[in-house]
Amino acid sequence: MPTTADLTVAVQDYLKAIYALEAAKARVTTSALASRMGVTAPSATAMTKRLADLGLVERSPYRGVALTDEGRRGALEVLRHHRLLERYLADRLGLSLDQVHAEADRLEHALSEELEAKIDAELGYPTHDPHGDPIPDPDLRVELGRDRTLVDLEPGERASVSRVPDGDPELLRYLKELGLVPGSDVEVVAHAPFAGPVTVRTTNGDHAISRELADRIGAAA
């Protein structure tokens, strides 16, 4: 089986995308994978065939693909690089939440295992990236338990923001304006009926956000 260092950038990106879909409990169909990768369905199909030939995924007619143990290790290795780099860029270089994802995407494939270990030690072995997502440990173990989200909080309940969506700079800038960033205090004021918006209170005031967005923001007591 190939090692992660032997895999092309495209293969690594696809492994990471499949892992993200699996972690979200989504069925990894060709259309779902093509949408996430921003490519055509035939391109996604061709790549899944290549991944299967490499022993990184299993393909099932009408059911999509699933990572093999080797494919999952490859995805987690890239994810570890990415999230450690995000942490380093934020903590040591002062990049903002909306900047670190794109920069880490550019650097993750070139990071050696030796430099990865040095960054990990320099940062004090962090467990989460700046967005609140868990960093796989050196043995590529990662906690996938679902956090509580703002949707789970009752009106009047207070918490600390533990996680925000990653990868959309405009959304992250918007959340920063609202005061909804990891570590900030938040109180749920109201849930509108019929799947309406959730009103939250932060240091910046009261804000009504969509239920879908509220369900993507982690909350810790």
Q: Map 43-54 to HEC letters.
A: HHHHHHHHHHHC
Query: Which CATH code, of 2.40.160.50, 3.30.230.70, 2.102.10.10, 1.10.10.10, is assigned to 1-145?
Result: 1.10.10.10
C-alpha 15/C-alpha 17 separation (Å) is: 5
| Contact (Cβ atoms closer than 8 angstroms) between residue 86 and residue 104 | yes
pLDDT value of residue 3: 53
**Residue 196 pLDDT > 90, yes or no?**
yes
Residue range 60-87: mean pLDDT, rounded: 94
Q: Across the strands, what pairs with 199?
A: 190, 208
pLDDT value of residue 25: 82
Residue range 2-17: mean pLDDT, rounded: 84
Fold agreement between 1-145 and 148-220: no
Overall CATH class of domain 148-220: mainly beta
pLDDT value of residue 1: 46
At which residue do the structure tokens 């093999």 appear?
Answer: 68
**pLDDT, tens digit (0-9, with 9 covering 90-100), for 15-55:** 999 999 998 888 899 999 999 999 999 999 999 999 999 99
Position 5 confidence tier, pLDDT thresholds 50, 70, 90: low
φ and ψ of 216, to 5 deg: -100, 0
pLDDT, the chain, mean: 94
At which residue do the structure tokens 């860029």 appear?
Answer: 89
The region of weakest confidence among 99-103, 131-135, 165-169 is 165-169
Enumerate the domain spans of the chain.
Answer: 1-145, 148-220
| Contact (Cβ atoms closer than 8 angstroms) between residue 78 and residue 16 | yes
Specify the pairing of strand 148-149 against strand 185-191: unpaired
